Chain A
Amino acid sequence: MSSEFYRLENVSVKYGDTYALQDVSCTIFSGERVAIVGPSGAGKSTLLGLLNGGIQATEGEVYVDLQQLSRFDETALQTHRSRVGFVYQHHNLVPTIRVIQNVMSARLGRFSLFEAIRRFVYSNAEEQEEVYNLLKRLGIEEKIFHFVEQLSGGQRQRVAIARALYQEPHTLLADEPVASLDPARARETLKLFSTIAKNDELTLCMSLHQVELAEGYIDRVIGIRDGKLVFDRLSSELQASELEELYTIQDLAICV
């Protein structure tokens, strides 16, 4: 598609004695929409964490835009992380403050402390307008001044997306965005992510349980299981048998 953006070279992540990821190599191109699929505990969240710099590789190397992530100093890492939007499974919003404050807090790292506090308490008109437009794209502009705890689960997810977009990211990561939704809602949500990524030319990475739901909304599928890469295919080339394998062998492993 276009240039290489993330590259993982033989990356392993170890927690204590157990491998969360083992010897994973893959490449993600700029502007690509990728689904990471696999059973629970396969290491999907760890992979997302590697991309946003929240988790460091124990072995191997992660390249971001052709630069080694492990060589980044504090500021460079901070800058990198501020350009990666992350939508958490549980949204991770502050429930006691308003939607606009939650969205705006994404940029508070850019100002002096005093200025950040002032903006957190009193947002100015331009910022309000920007957040309003952002929320309008997501269809919840009416809720801009509501408290997060007054919102439904779906609305909260949209606020979380808005916060991620307000970072002006080049990459959007989503951890299990449809884990607790029924199929129709799930498809709608995946469509939303996909359209946003396309319009804003973002690199999109989502971890999913079932790839079938995402059909038509993604370019590539990466399958992992037990911390190991099982397949890495363009979604058009994906074989049904591969998907089956991803889940069935897992079952066998449990039996043995």
Chain B
Amino acid sequence: MSAVLEELHKTRPRSGFIRFSVVFFALLLLAPLLTFFVGFAELAKPQRQANVARFFGELVPYSLRDKPSGITDYAEWYFQMWEKSGAYAMGITFAMSLVAIMLAGLIAFFLSPFAARTLMNRDPYLTQGASAGPWQILTWLSRALLMFMRAIPEYIWAFIFLVLFGPSAWPAVLALALHNAGVLGRLQAETIENLNPTPLRSLRALGASRFRLFFAAIAPMSFSRFLLFFFARWEMCVRESTVLGLIGIVSLGYYIQDARARNFYDEMLFFILLGALLVVIGDVLSTVLRRYLRRD
């Protein structure tokens, strides 16, 4: 009886790969966590603590330090900062994200059909499992390109472009556009692959070329999903464009970097909070827009 059970237990379906993955990732996460806690304990030492305490003290606005001040004083200081440069920086950051996501959307939308396997084969939609033939090369190339664009973070692209193209808003915009086009393009390619093939098949049977198929059917059919991804990525774009200023483009990040370089930690905190506010605004806007688009 239990022998049978044991036999069943031995032959139970299991995946060595999953086991390996679990153990691997558990170790991979645990090891640095240990050093993290050791480092954290280090921070608790007295003189380190004093440093940290001083830092937090410096987050308080300079003019308000060492004297009793109410909420109105803080509000006044923050409002002054907002008028001085906060509003301008926020506007620039927002504008950058807008241009960037638009560019990203355009690149992704027209690059994605090349990465869709259902479209890039010898006989799309008509022959089941048609061999890819030379089209395969196109798919692989565009997929690799999208993947590469996605793999390199905006910050690195911006760093490189800033030196190559000189100072303007272009490096930041291009960097944002490139990375997000990578993400959007891949998602859009997957959407195209998952489209309902029936109407496409009948169009194709009527003799539509791949080009016409894309513009007449695939593009409008996939447009709504694309817009949902588009706004989700826009949210991320707003988030990223705040920090791209750290390398010298006049967005919020620039002011943060500037304040940090001058050790004005109170101003630095102000701009960081402003960045957070901008992200929340982008978050709400994108959610509202997506809900508006989903509504029938």
Contact = CB atoms under 8 A, between A and B. Distances in A.
Contacts of B4: 132
Contacts of A141: 8
A104 B2 CA distance: 18
B1 interface: yes
Contact of A125 (B2, B8, B12, B13): B2
B12 A128 contact: no
A98 interface: yes
Nearest to B9: A145
B12 A146 contact: yes
B4 to A, nearest CB: 8
Interface residues of B, number: 8
Contacts of A129: 1-2, 5
Contacts, number: 24
Contact of A98 (B2, B5, B12): B12
Nearest to A131: B5
A141 B12 CA distance: 12
A150 B1 CA distance: 24
A129 B1 CA distance: 8
Contact of B5 (A132, A146, A147, A150): A132
A222 interface: no
Contacts of B1: 129, 132
Interface in B130-159: none
A86 to B, nearest CB: 28
A142 interface: yes
B242 to A, nearest CB: 39
A144 interface: yes
A145 B8 contact: yes
B238 to A, nearest CB: 36
Interface in B1-55: 1-2, 4-5, 8-9, 12-13
Interface in A142-161: 142, 144-147, 150
A142 B13 contact: no
A244 B2 CA distance: 53
Interface in A85-113: 98
Interface string B75-114: 0000000000000000000000000000000000000000
Contacts of A132: 1, 4-5, 8
B6 to A, nearest CB: 9
B2 A145 contact: no
A34 to B, nearest CB: 36
B8 A144 contact: yes
A202 B112 CA distance: 60
Interface string A211-239: 00000000000000000000000000000
B13 A146 contact: yes
Contacts of B8: 132, 141-142, 144-145
Nearest to B13: A146
Contacts of B2: 125, 129
B211 to A, nearest CB: 42
A139 B5 CA distance: 15
A61 to B, nearest CB: 44
A62 to B, nearest CB: 41
Q: Max chain B CB contacts within 10 Å: which of A128, A145, A146?
A: A145
A181 to B, nearest CB: 26
Contacts of B12: 98, 145-146
A97 B2 CA distance: 22
A124 to B, nearest CB: 12
A22 B260 CA distance: 71
A125 B9 CA distance: 11
A52 to B, nearest CB: 32
Nearest to A145: B12
A234 B8 CA distance: 45
A100 to B, nearest CB: 9
A80 B203 CA distance: 61
B8 to A, nearest CB: 6
Contacts of A125: 2, 5
A137 to B, nearest CB: 14
Contacts of B5: 125, 128-129, 132, 144
Interface of B: 1-2, 4-5, 8-9, 12-13
Interface of A: 98, 125, 128-129, 132, 141-142, 144-147, 150
Given A125-B2, A146-B13, 12 more contacts: A98-B12, A125-B5, A128-B5, A129-B1, A129-B5, A132-B1, A132-B8, A142-B8, A144-B5, A144-B8, A145-B12, A147-B13
8 contacts: A128-B9, A129-B2, A132-B4, A132-B8, A144-B5, A145-B13, A146-B12, A147-B13
Minimum-distance CB pairs A-B, first 9: A145-B12, A132-B5, A145-B8, A128-B5, A144-B8, A145-B9, A146-B13, A129-B2, A129-B5
